């Protein structure tokens, strides 16, 4: 047996890798049209498989955006700061349905606390994270306004939360230089505040 074989045999998956290996995501083309299912771990390792995803931005009535820090247990972009939530719809689930479920699971936010949840942008991007994996997604951006800002974060998913002035994030990035942002949030912010946002997928990859 070679050293490489021994190393592979001795490798123990993390709890999140085991969890991801039990799930599927929706593979898509660049127009966000379904192309079947792919194992979630396979979609995020090697060269990756393009799949459907979403990120949600919740605002308060003063126009501040709710940012959430990814928990340290996350395999990709652990401890980085994101929009409010981000994840993947399962087969047969709309982006709105998936977002509603994730908001409740991660932050304890229920649909009666907001309205007008809708898709405002959709883009394809691909980014590698160290030597741990890759995100290759057609990512929908959804927005809504919270009328009740009560939160109950799940510590297994969320390392912290922060309300920030939305436009200030773009106009004065030095004010937030201590925060490491997830690439999909950076892209969503830039596209929104420079007028590039388009809810129809199919443009060039970021």
Query: Is residue 157 among the annotated active site residues?
Result: no
Rounded-to-integer distance, Cα 23 and Cα 16, Å: 11
Q: Beta-carbon neighbour count of residue 23 at 10 Å?
A: 13
From 124, 102, 112, select the one nearest 57 (Cα to Cα): 102
Q: Beta-carbon neighbour count of residue 187 at 10 Å?
A: 21
Rounded-to-integer distance, Cα 60 and Cα 91, Å: 31
Phi, psi (deg, nearest 5) at residue 79 = 65, 0
Rounded-to-integer distance, Cα 73 and Cα 16, Å: 8
Partnered with residue 115 across adjacent β-strands are 145
Q: Is 137 annotated to bind ligand?
A: yes
Q: Beta-carbon neighbour count of residue 82 at 10 Å?
A: 22
Could you tell me which residues come within 8 angstroms of residue 177 by beta carbon, excluding any fewer than 6 positions away? none
Q: From the candidates 100, 124, 137, 157, give the one annotated as an active-site residue.
A: 137
Q: Is 44 annotated to bind ligand?
A: yes
Partnered with residue 126 across adjacent β-strands are 136
Q: Is 88 annotated to bind ligand?
A: yes
Residues assigned a catalytic role: 137
Could you tell me which residues are annotated as the binding site for Mn(2+)? 44, 51, 88, 135, 137
Could you tell me which residues are annotated as the binding site for Mg(2+)? 106
């Amino acid at each position: 047996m070679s050293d490489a074989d021994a190393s592979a045999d001795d490798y123990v998956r993390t709890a999140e890798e085991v969890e991801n290996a039990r799930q599927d995501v929706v593979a898509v083309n660049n127009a966000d049209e379904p192309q079947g299912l792919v194992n979630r771990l396979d979609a995020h390792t090697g060269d990756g498989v393009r799949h459907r995803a979403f990120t949600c931005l919740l605002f308060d009535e003063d126009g501040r955006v709710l940012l959430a820090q990814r928990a340290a247990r996350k395999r990709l972009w652990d401890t980085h700061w994101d929009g409010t939530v981000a994840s993947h719809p399962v087969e047969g689930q709309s982006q709105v349905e998936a977002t509603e479920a994730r908001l409740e699971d991660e932050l304890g936010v229920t649909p009666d606390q907001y309205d007008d949840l809708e898709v405002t942008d959709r883009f394809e991007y691909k980014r590698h994270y160290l030597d741990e994996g890759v995100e290759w997604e057609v990512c929908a951006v959804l927005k809504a306004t919270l009328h009740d800002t009560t939160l109950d974060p799940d510590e297994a998913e969320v390392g912290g939360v922060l309300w920030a002035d939305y436009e200030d994030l773009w106009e004065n990035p030095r004010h937030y230089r201590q925060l490491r942002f997830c690439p999909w949030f950076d892209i969503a912010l830039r596209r929104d505040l420079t007028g590039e946002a388009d809810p129809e997928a199919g443009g060039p990859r970021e």
